[in-house]
């Protein structure tokens, strides 16, 4: 490939494929295409690759590499890891989750490794009958996972094919056809137990459990099918390690990447980008859009489809894990996903609060401690001192409520602290480390921050509303782009990122599916 960077008004160079966006999906597409001998150019607007799959030294003078945005991996198929030879280690967490019962000194501990402890814990929160119901409920989601997960690296199946593979009409109805709230309320008696199950439906998905558009069901489904088990694992070395591996294999296969390169137009197979204050252009047989689809709509003058994220992410570094009010071992409580103020009624209340234009009080949130499963993200001295990282993902803070002032960010951060401290025996602020400048080691990312830094439209972490991982029975699947679920609203441009049909999350599926569609269309042309 000749040097693709030319200013306008000179001969326009050409490559086989241009990929817009150097997140992990763009890099996955680049790797797959370059390995097949295509000349590939990846254009990334930021000064570094990785998008939302990055680690960062977030605090001055502190040797801790935090997964700044995404933090757990479930949806990345082993097939992609094997195909590309990615050197990625994922660690399974011993505990599934811990959820303090609001206003009490007890909580629900779901322990993968100890059924008796889990059963006792259900009883302690007043949910004894729900222990058996819990197992049955997740046997049903495992049935869905077993039917759907193997199709994720294949062209889109039809709804009827999934129905047949699940082979259980009741499960199909409860999870794929009726609002999730119905099956949760029918299956579980206990408010806390219902809430723990509902949280998977609300990650960056602003919904009521009974919404008829079933966005909450779709979100839930993606949270229980990964790897056919629904486990969410810790990437050793942090998320930066994951995208670095995609960048490595893409580079080794011959793909070229340019950072600080913002694409400002795509038209008739020509891609224009701005870099170092100048405009550059390249012609490509294939244009793959691995950034948010709404950005593509904007630069091509099309009204974007509605999209909205609804979360606040807070990263912090602690000098030690805090003690809990209920005396549960902090290593167990923080060893899985720690739900705070996420009972079913609290989640529904929070949604109503936000619908009425208010930040929820208390803020429902889930917490995750990376360093318990993988201390390697901390320098030696921090490891030896007992320091731990903490990531908080707070729900039901829709982008429509965000004004973007510093005071507002401070208010949201304080609400996260208050929510967290409500279940602790001490205030969270008392155990947060300070950086070299004497400031608390805390960073807070609103939906607006995600939009500004990553061009994630309205802070939607999936680049838009999620879609079912199958096609409807009457849907035309008459082109490679449609068969692989990567068709965009723009002729000749394929979606290759989270905004593609099955692309949300750290899965590399958007990039993989787009690459497969490109290769299929080239074969068809021959």
Among residues 62, 450, 509, 515, the one that binds ligand FAD under rule CB under 6 A: 450
> CA 526, CA 403: separation in Å to the nearest integer?
53
Subset of residues 293 to 312 that bind ligand FAD, contact rule: CB under 6 A: 295
Among residues 34, 58, 72, 288, the one that binds ligand FAD under rule CB under 6 A: 72
CA distances from 510 to 225, 285, 505, 517 (A): 16, 19, 9, 11
> CA 72, CA 351: separation in Å to the nearest integer?
25
Q: Is 334 in the site for ligand FAD (CB under 6 A)?
A: no
Query: Considering beta carbons, is residue 125 or 201 the nearer one to ligand FAD?
Result: 201
Give every CB contact of residue 217 below 8 A, 6+ residues apart in sequence.
175, 176, 179, 180, 201
Query: Considering beta carbons, is residue 196 or 506 the nearer one to ligand FAD?
Result: 506
Q: Is 354 in the site for ligand FAD (CB under 6 A)?
A: no
Among residues 17, 38, 43, 458, the one that binds ligand FAD under rule CB under 6 A: 43
Among residues 16, 44, 191, 449, the one that binds ligand FAD under rule CB under 6 A: 44
Is residue 247 within 8 A of residue 27, CB to CB? The reply is: yes
x/- binding map, residues 75-114, to ligand FAD, per CB under 6 A?
x---------------------------------------
Is residue 506 within 8 A of residue 242, CB to CB? The reply is: yes
Bridge-partner residues for 57, per DSSP? Answer: 65
Q: Is 444 in the site for ligand FAD (CB under 6 A)?
A: no
Q: Is 314 in the site for ligand FAD (CB under 6 A)?
A: no
Bridge-partner residues for 338, per DSSP? Answer: 98, 367
Is residue 517 within 8 A of residue 480, CB to CB? The reply is: yes
Could you tell me how many residues of this chain bind ligand FAD (CB under 6 A)?
Answer: 38
Among residues 510, 514, 515, 518, the one that binds ligand FAD under rule CB under 6 A: 510
Q: In 3-state terms, what secondary structure has residue 392? A: strand
Residue with tokens 């701005």: 274
Among residues 395, 454, 486, 493, the one that binds ligand FAD under rule CB under 6 A: 454
Q: Is 262 in the site for ligand FAD (CB under 6 A)?
A: yes
Q: Which stretch binds ligand FAD (CB under 6 A): 87-95, 106-114, 166-174, 454-462?
A: 454-462
Encode 150-214 in three state secondary structure. HHCCCCCCEHHHHHHHHCCHHHHHHHHHCCHHHHHHHHCCCHHHHHHHHHCCCCCCCCCCCCCCC
Is residue 4 within 8 A of residue 28, CB to CB? The reply is: no
Residue with tokens 């992990």: 24
x/- binding map, residues 19-38, to ligand FAD, per CB under 6 A?
-xxxxxxx------------
Query: Considering beta carbons, is residue 101 or 340 the nearer one to ligand FAD?
Result: 340
Q: Is 220 in the site for ligand FAD (CB under 6 A)?
A: no
Q: Is 237 in the site for ligand FAD (CB under 6 A)?
A: no
Q: Which stretch binds ligand FAD (CB under 6 A): 43-51, 156-164, 166-174, 348-356?
A: 43-51
Query: Considering beta carbons, is residue 166 or 496 the nearer one to ligand FAD?
Result: 496
Which positions lie near ligand FAD, rule CB under 6 A?
A: 20-26, 43-46, 51-53, 69-72, 75, 262-263, 290-291, 295, 313, 450, 454-456, 461-462, 497-498, 503-506, 510
């Amino acid at each position: 490939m000749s040097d693709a960077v030319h200013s306008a008004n000179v001969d326009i160079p050409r490559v086989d494929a241009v990929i817009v966006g150097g997140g992990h999906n763009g890099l996955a597409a680049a790797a797959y295409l370059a390995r097949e001998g295509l000349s590939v150019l990846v254009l990334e607007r930021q000064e570094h690759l990785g998008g939302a799959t990055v680690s960062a030294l977030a605090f001055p003078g502190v040797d801790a590499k935090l997964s700044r945005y995404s933090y757990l991996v479930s949806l990345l198929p082993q097939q992609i890891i094997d195909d590309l030879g990615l050197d990625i280690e994922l660690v399974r967490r011993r505990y599934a989750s811990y959820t303090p019962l609001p206003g009490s000194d007890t909580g629900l501990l779901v322990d993968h490794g100890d059924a008796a402890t889990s059963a006792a814990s259900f009883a302690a929160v007043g949910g004894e009958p729900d222990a058996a119901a819990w197992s049955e409920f997740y046997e049903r989601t495992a049935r869905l996972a077993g039917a759907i997960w193997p199709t994720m690296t294949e062209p889109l199946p039809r709804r009827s094919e999934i129905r047949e593979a699940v082979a259980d009409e009741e499960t199909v109805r409860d999870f794929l056809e009726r609002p999730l709230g119905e099956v949760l309320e029918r299956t579980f008696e206990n408010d806390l137990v219902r809430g723990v199950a509902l949280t998977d439906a609300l990650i960056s998905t602003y919904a009521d459990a009974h919404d008829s558009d079933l966005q909450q069901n779709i979100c839930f489904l993606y949270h229980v099918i990964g790897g056919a088990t629904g486990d969410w694992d810790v990437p050793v070395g942090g998320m930066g390690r994951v995208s670095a591996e995609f960048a490595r294999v893409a580079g080794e296969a011959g793909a070229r990447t340019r950072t600080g390169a913002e694409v400002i137009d795509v038209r008739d197979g020509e891609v224009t980008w701005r870099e170092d204050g100048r405009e550059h252009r390249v012609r490509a047989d294939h244009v793959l859009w691995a950034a948010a689809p709404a950005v593509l709509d904007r630069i091509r003058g099309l009204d974007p489809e509605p999209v909205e994220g609804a979360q606040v992410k807070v990263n912090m570094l602690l000098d030690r894990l805090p003690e809990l009010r209920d005396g549960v071992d902090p290593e167990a409580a923080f060893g899985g996903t720690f739900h705070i103020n996420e009972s079913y009624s609290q989640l529904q209340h929070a949604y109503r609060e936000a619908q009425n234009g208010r930040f929820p009080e208390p803020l429902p949130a889930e917490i995750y401690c990376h360093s318990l499963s993988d201390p390697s993200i901390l320098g030696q001295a921090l490891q030896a001192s007992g320091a731990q990282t903490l990531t908080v993902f707070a729900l039901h803070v829709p982008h429509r409520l965000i004004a973007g002032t510093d005071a507002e960010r401070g208010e949201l951060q304080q609400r996260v602290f208050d929510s967290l401290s409500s279940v602790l025996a001490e205030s969270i602020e008392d155990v947060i480390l300070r950086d070299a400048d004497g400031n608390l080691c805390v960073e807070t990312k609103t939906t607006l921050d995600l939009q500004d830094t990553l061009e994630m439209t309205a802070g939607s972490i999936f680049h838009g509303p999620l879609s079912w991982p199958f096609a409807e029975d009457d849907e035309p699947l008459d082109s490679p782009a449609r068969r692989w679920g990567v068709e965009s609203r723009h002729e000749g441009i394929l979606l290759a990122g989270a905004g593609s049909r099955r692309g949300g999350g750290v899965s590399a599926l958007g990039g993989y599916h787009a690459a497969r569609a490109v290769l299929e269309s080239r074969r068809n042309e021959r």
